[in-house]
Amino acid sequence: MTAADAPSPTVGPDPAPQADPEAAAAALRRTARLRRRLAAQLLFELVVPLGSYYGLRALGAGQWLSMVAGGLLTLPWIVYGIVRQRRVEAMAVFTLCLVVVGALLSSVTGSPRVLLVRDSWLTAAIGLWVLGTLLTRRPFIMTASRGIVVAKVGEAGLVAWEARWDAEPTFRHHLRLITAVWGAVFLLDAVLRVVLAYTIPVDSFPLVSTVLWLALLGGLLTFHNGYITRNGLKL
């Protein structure tokens, strides 16, 4: 058999498409950045404030000083977020104002419980904002999921995912329902924090409120993951 008689390498089933190594590497880098961001949030928004409060209390510092110090230690993280994004983030500025106003009110009233309620203002504002996005064209979950969608399926996948909003009423219903649940959980956290602030010992509040938030967040994420899995929204 001559070379001319040999079967063409193009005959038969097409070989399986090969994944683009550059796209795969870019996706891995995006995922790594997301994980680092979440780890930093956990450190500066939870570990540092809580650890500083109990550390200062163990050293004999007063409740007011310990709470103010915990709040002030979050300020570099807030400023870093503003500088990193190169724009003024409304929620970051709002958080900064809560720290300052809460400290001033506590110094006037002499009650550390005023500072305890400070976080309730923030979570209540977030909850109302999340629920408010239900009145807009793009609810909270629609915009908040963009980074995750890009990390998993890339820019082209994001375009296809967002196109479902215009084409599928059921898709819109699911995202609005999830958004409503997220907003309701933030409001519930705010209410429960106020109740705790005025019913339990001040020294117990940072730990109890943190456990409360972790429990609510865990339940929320469990619901979220289960819902999107059952309804075919998971990528």
Whether the predicted pLDDT of 210 surpasses 70: yes
Q: Mean pLDDT over residues 27-35, rounded?
A: 71
* Per-residue model confidence as pLDDT tens digits over 122-169: 778 888 988 998 998 888 888 778 767 777 777 777 788 888 888 899
Q: In this structure, which long-range contacts are made by residues 169-174, counting pairs with CB atoms below 8 Å and at least 24 apart in sequence? A: 171/233, 174/227, 174/228, 174/231, 174/233
Of 63-67, 142-146, 187-191, the poorest mean pLDDT is in 63-67
In the chain, % of residues over pLDDT 90: 15
Query: How high is the mean pLDDT of the chain?
Result: 75
The per-residue DSSP string of 158-201 comes to HHHHHHHHHH-HHHHHHHHHHHHHHHHHHHHHHHHHHHHHTTS-
Cβ atoms 205, 196 nearer than 8 A: yes
pLDDT of residue 2: 41
- Spell out the residues 6+ positions from residue 154 whose beta carbon is closer than 8 angstroms to its own: 23, 27
Cβ atoms 189, 123 nearer than 8 A: yes
Q: Mean pLDDT over residues 56-63, rounded?
A: 75
- Phi-psi group of 102: left, alpha or beta (phi > 0 → left; psi -120 to 50 → alpha; rest → beta): alpha
pLDDT confidence band for 15 (50 / 70 / 90): very low
Whether the predicted pLDDT of 89 surpasses 70: no
Whether the predicted pLDDT of 9 surpasses 90: no
Whether the predicted pLDDT of 78 surpasses 80: no
